[in-house]
A and B are shown apart, each in its own frame.
Chain A
Amino acid sequence: AQKITQTQPGMFVQEKEAVTLDCTYDTSDQSYGLFWYKQPSSGEMIFLIYQGSYDEQNATEGRYSLNFQKARKSANLVISASQLGDSAMYFCAMRVFSSGSARQLTFGSGTQLTVLP
Chain B
Amino acid sequence: GAVVSQHPSRVICKSGTSVKIECRSLDFQATTMFWYRQFPKQSLMLMATSNEGSKATYEQGVEKDKFLINHASLTLSTLTVTSAHPEDSSFYICSAPLLMRGNEQFFGPGTRLTVL
Contact = CB atoms under 8 A, between A and B. Distances in A.
| Interface of chain B, main secondary structure | strand
Interface in B46-65: 46, 49, 57
Interface of A is mostly: loop
Contacts of A106: 46
A50 B101 contact: yes
Contacts, number: 58
Interface residues of B, number: 24
Interface string A46-78: 010010100000000000000000000000000
Nearest to B38: A43
Q: Across the A-B interface, give the 5 residue pairs with the lowest CB-CB distance, nearest first.
A: A33-B102, A45-B107, A43-B110, A107-B43, A103-B97
29 contacts: A35-B102, A35-B104, A37-B107, A43-B38, A43-B91, A43-B109, A43-B110, A43-B112, A44-B107, A44-B109, A45-B44, A45-B95, A45-B107, A47-B104, A47-B105, A47-B106, A50-B101, A50-B102, A50-B104, A91-B43, A91-B44, A95-B103, A97-B102, A104-B49, A105-B44, A105-B95, A106-B46, A107-B44, A108-B43
Interface of B: 32, 34, 38, 42-46, 49, 57, 91, 93, 95, 97, 101-107, 109-110, 112
